[in-house]
Amino acid sequence: MHTTTSPRIAFDDVGDGPMTLLYLPGWCANRTAFRDLLPIAARQHRAIALDWRGHGGSEPTTHDFGTAALVDDALAVITRSGAEVVVPVALAHSGWVAIELRRRLGPARVPGIVWLEWMPLGAPAPFLDVLAGLQDTHRWRDVRAQLFSMWTTGVDIPALDHHIDEMARYDETMWARAGREIATNFATEHSPTIAVESFDEPCPTLHLYAQPADTETLTAQEAYAAAHPWFSVERLPAASHFPMFEIPEHLQQRVSEFAHRLQPAHAH
């Protein structure tokens, strides 16, 4: 693996191929979230995973920033790497960055999007309360602890424990920023699927997730997919909210299959 660090943005760049899988971590998370996926992806594709500004190996910052800056970071990595055609593989709320990359670069350069563990049909009210709690200086630690507990209870995966430890290193400012930006995105766009519906051309979009495991969540997304052929969904056979640590081969296989389906249309 070759690791490149720019003056601001750090990213890993592995494999080769005309189509690049661009792995985007969520807020308060590092590119190490994809450490098990990248070597698998590199068997068939070029794969890049980045750290956002102020995260991981990227340059620290004392300035406030938001989703627009994350889009700039992703665009900078695409430019520096020379990637021509990219398929964003976005974990959680970095899905908003993936959507904006499609808007900016168009279908020729972003022929499809993969969302991992997200909320395609919109944020439920309890989650909006969580976002508000992350922005409350008196509650943010407790709210974050509740999230960590929800993600790890009953799950024994050392790599996930390490990932949570990395997330715990981010301070109140970053977690509040995450809550603010995620809430703003949902308030502005209403839902990821509505945002994608606004494109001039349909954007093939795959949602892979494991949690929540209830039937209603899957049924609602399958019903949406039946009415919107550009969207597809699969619930993964994993017990955690981070299946990339639990079933990396299975997850990456689904991502690669999706990417391969995009190639004939892109070539045309």
At 50, which CATH number?
Answer: 3.40.50.1820
Residue 47's φ and ψ, nearest 5 degrees, are: -135, 135
Q: Is 150 a domain residue?
A: no
Amino acid, res. 152: T
Q: Is 144 a domain residue?
A: no
User: What is the pTM for the complete model shown?
Assistant: 0.94
Overall number of domains in the chain: 1
Range of the domain at 38: 2-122+191-267
Q: Is 170 a domain residue?
A: no
CB 211 within 8 Å of CB 128: no
What pLDDT score was predicted for residue 263?
A: 79
Q: Rounded CA gap, 74 and 65, in Å?
A: 14
Q: Is 133 a domain residue?
A: no
Q: Is 74 a domain residue?
A: yes
What pLDDT score was predicted for residue 264?
A: 62
List CB contacts of 154: < 8 A, sequence separation 6 or more: 239
Residue 208's φ and ψ, nearest 5 degrees, are: -110, 125
List CB contacts of 256: < 8 A, sequence separation 6 or more: 41, 44, 45
List of the chain residues with pLDDT < 50:
1-7, 266-268
DSSP 196-216: HHTSSS---EEEEE--S--HH
Q: Is 95 a domain residue?
A: yes
Q: Rounded CA gap, 121 and 138, in Å?
A: 30
Q: Is 127 a domain residue?
A: no
Q: Rounded CA gap, 31 and 151, in Å?
A: 18
Q: Is 61 a domain residue?
A: yes
CB 255 within 8 Å of CB 262: no
Instruction: Give me 14's structure tokens.
Output: 């592995």
